[in-house]
Structure 1
Amino acid sequence: MASIKQLFFANLAQTTDFPLALEMERAEGVHIWDTNGKAYIDLISGISVSNIGHRHPKVVDAIKGQVDKYMHLLVYGEFIQSPQVLLANELSQALGSNLDNLFLVNSGSEAIEGAMKLAKRYTGRREFIAFDKAYHGSTQGALSIIGDEEFRRGYRPLLPGIRHIQFNDTAEFQHITENTAAVIVETVQGEAGYIPPHAGYLKALREKCDEVGALLILDEIQAGFGRTGSLFAFHTEDIHPDIVTLAKGMGGGMPIGAFASRKEIMDSLKENPILGHITTFGGHPVSAAAALASLQVIQEEELWKRPLEGEKLFRELLVHPLITEVRGRGFMLAVQLDTFERVQKVIEYCLEHGVITDWFLFNDTSLRLSPPLIITDDEIRRACEVIVEGIDRTV
């Protein structure tokens, strides 16, 4: 009989020729165990998903409690289902900025697709401004606005009316005009290698959007839910977005996403035509219950404070002649090396010694650090020790 690993390669679609191919058995907190019983410190959180750690007991209890009541009932928006309603209410209060309406979906890509449709429908415009090296997902609309031609080229034609500009360069604002439906920007660029906005940049972008009547869409899919040292990264920027997209750390490990806006804007999806945006499984009650529990854990335990403390320790410990920069904010950190080959060797060494890290789609010369918010100082010290040792072995 074929092994699980053999079936993995035979029956699951692969996206690279070099998957990590670790056969995992269980996970809890900051650790994952493989089928041989080996423990790994998880420094990537499933790409910024497991913000409160794996299998948090309050999330597990919420999932079990909801499964005992009901799971899928009907397409989103028809029945009143308390997990959806309670999540939307609490999350809208947490977001602030009059973002009082949420449309619940299944993933970050879906949140982006919905936000783009909403901006078109509300403004009556068709053009979008996005950013070089931005990442917003892999579906057709999201792919149209990601900022790397290598990843777009094989799937053209994509959506028309998309212009990419340089991040952190206010001179590029000249391209935002009265034809622009929306500007969509990550509050910290993710796959570019965790690049934060310069001080005042997002505020200036908000002012330019106001000047020409364009909407401002903030992508908080990777930065949200405490990862940068505030509940949402835009909370430190003194700005009020028109639409915010959410996913990843939202569900406590369950699949869910959302786009949030003001009711005035969101109501435009109700007419001309009706059912302007629909989803079968968006806001699945089990995922919604998990997301509510996860949000409550982050708020009650003030876990959003932890990344700023942990960032200081990472920066103190990750010192090596081959590390040219530790870049980012909170628990979105990139360790800049020189070549992809070195990054691969360090990742392999880390795996051998019980630490999981990764690289970035648009910056393959950096190591990704986005651990769960609950990681301890001792776990950070151990992880950094292994990373520095791994770099030494490549010399």
Structure 2
Amino acid sequence: MTGFDLAELLAERGAERYELHSRYLNHQLPRMLHTIGFDKAYERAEGAYFWDREGRDYLDMLAGFGVMGLGRHHPVVRQALHDVLDAQLPDLTRFDCQPLPGLLAERLLGHAPHLDRVFFGNSGTEAVETALKFARYATGRPRVLYCTHAFHGLTTGSLSVNGETGFRDGFAPLLPDTAIEMGDLAALERELRRGDVAAFVVEPVQGKGVHPTPPGFLRAAQEALHRHKALLIADEVQTGLGRTGDFFAYQHEDGVEPDLVCVAKALSGGYVPVGATLGKDWIFKKVYSSMDRVLVHSASFGANAQAMAAGLAVLAVMADEKLVANARHTGELLRSRLAGLIDRYELLHDVRGRGLMIGIEFGRPTSLGLRSRWTMLQAARKGLFAQMVVVPLLQRHRILTQVSGDHLEVIKLIPPLIIGEREVDRFMAAFTAVMDDAHNGGGLMWHFGRTLARQALSVR
């Protein structure tokens, strides 16, 4: 036994969490959290809730950006990890074939029966990188198309198909890929006619702003791509594993069968990072075309036993607890109740999404008093009103949410798939109270807005 005691270390140094982060990690994160009042000290988490050191509960409507699909510390996943550690498997020898990766691949492919093989990595961005590499090699073409405002990851390859300039600035040169507007089939066809397109990568529901693909778009895009010998890549890193009320979000549209599908996040159970790229047999056989190429694409920690055990446990829980159906039912309940508020609040412009992936969009009000305040915020920085809503949801009502992207007046809700009517009621009561405050001239809320506006103007 060593002298290392994790509980003792946390008891001694846990209170230094923000200071340690400021000194040794990304120093802007604690600064940002302090500024908006998100600098909480959470001590415990279970299911869809956190607790602070005073024992107050917080409802999690963010799920770790979608990682915590089962909520936190699900007992089945915890037990699976205990079991796999106790088994002392000869993991990652790299010169054998362990059973767990094959078993997890088999069960994942059961949800996408038109696909045949799986590559396991460690994250969503790795899953996208794998799809980009495989598409380029399988087609022999260099260029990948993507959508404006897309988010596919932050490593160099996935960043090349990232539609947000704020993430790309300063990291050029990137790969020679091309953006089109989501839903613009004419632009897609125009690019395909150039003959150098390997694939089109798309989120069935864009995470930034929560925009589902237009009806019929994926099917039409797939047909155009296949006419031109190019591939359809579905990025299901956030939308997959039940998030939208189907196991995969592309399944909302009949006849769509992507050539490659990327998953990650919720497959981990919130414990061990894992990413997976599902694909057609011929693509994998082209990449791994000989024994000389057996390691042409690999990952040091890919398909490790802990990650595979977590993934198998997640799929078992999803089936046992009927979480895909729950996401569909609870998501529709939440979305419909929010949509019912649009006529009541002039600052509330749209509610959209699928399943438990919902976007709440705010927009320019009509009344003079609210319009002047809105204009003040917009002049400083677009997106400040949404931040004004997110902060009191946490500070006053202990509900964690997020603004759905830079310069967007959209709040995104991606709670754990286990939530039910109780959590919907709690969120609706809090959201209604915040909107009442905003529309009735609530002094504290608009004062905070002025503070945010001053800070935004000071950093220009």
Range class of TM-score, shorter chain? over 0.9
CA displacement at 1:68 relative to structure 2: 0.9
Amino acid at match of 1:276: V
Match of 1:377 among 421, 424, 428: 421
Q: 1:342·1:394 contact (CA, 8 Å) conserved in 2?
A: no
Deviations 1:320-353 (CA, angstroms, capped at 9, x unpaired): 3321001111111011013522212211111122
TM-score normalised per structure 1: 0.94
- 2:316 pairs with one of 262, 287, 296: 296
Tell me whether 1:264 sits opposite 2:279 in the alignment: no
Please name the residue that 1:348 is paired with: 391
CA distance in 1: counterparts of 2:399 and 2:81, whole angstroms: 29
For residues 54-102 of structure 1, the C-alpha deviation after alignment (integer angstroms, 9 at most, x for no partner) is: 1111111111111112367326x642222212111111112221x1210
What SS does the aligned partner of 1:9 have?
helix
- Corresponding residue of 2:450: none
Deviations 1:17-37 (A, max 9, x none): 413332222211111112332
Following superposition, the deviation at residue 11 of structure 1 comes to 2.0
Deviation for aligned residue 1:151: 2.0
TM-score by length of structure 2 reads 0.81
Question: Match of 1:368, SS?
Answer: strand
Q: Please provide the CA RMSD for this pair.
A: 1.8
1:217 paired to 2:211: no
Partner of 1:313: 333
Deviations 1:369-391 (A, max 9, x none): 01111101011111121122123
Match runs of 1:1-395 below 5 Å: 3-14=16-27, 16=29, 17-19=31-33, 20-70=38-88, 73-74=91-92, 78-97=95-114, 99-160=115-176, 162-173=177-188, 174-177=190-193, 178-191=195-208, 193-237=209-253, 238-254=255-271, 255-271=273-289, 274=293, 275-318=295-338, 319=341, 320-338=345-363, 339-352=382-395, 353-362=397-406, 364-395=408-439
User: Which segment drifts farther, 66-75 or 342-351?
Assistant: 66-75
**Larger Cα Rg: Structure 1 or Structure 2?**
2
Verify the 8 A CA contact 2:120 2:274 in the aligned structure 1.
Answer: yes
Percent of residue pairs identical: 35
Q: Which has the higher contact order (CA 8 A, sep 6+)?
A: 1
Secondary structure of the corresponding residue to residue 415 of structure 2: coil
Q: Distance in 2 between matches of 1:95 and 1:390?
A: 42
Structure 1: 5+ residue stretches without partners: none
Moved more, 217-226 or 3-12: 3-12
Aligned counterparts of 1:136 and 1:15: Cα–Cα separation in 2: 23
Instruction: Report the CA distance between 1:15 and its aligned residue.
Output: 5.3
- Shift of residue 105 of structure 1? 0.5
- What is the CA–CA distance in structure 2 between the aligned matches of 1:220 and 1:78, rounded to whole Å? 31
Amino acid aligned to 1:4: R
* Conserved? CA contact 2:183–2:213, under 8 Å: yes
- Following the alignment from structure 1 to structure 2, what is the Cα–Cα distance between the partners of residues 387 and 224? 27
Structure 2 unaligned regions, length at least 5: 1-12, 364-381, 440-460
Shift of 1:392: 2.8
Query: Does the CA-based 8 Å contact 2:238-2:265 persist in structure 1?
Result: yes
Q: Quick one: structure 1 residues 362 and 209, their matched pair in 2 at CA, closer, same or farther if it must change by over 3 Å?
A: farther
In 2, Cα distance between equivalents of 1:298 and 1:73: 26
1:30 and 1:52 map into 2 onto residues whose CA distance is 8
CA distance in 2, matches of 1:72, 1:14: 39
**Separation of aligned partners in 1, 2:385 and 2:202:** 30
The CA distance in 2 between the partners of 1:187 and 1:154, in whole Å, is 28
In 2, Cα distance between equivalents of 1:34 and 1:144: 39
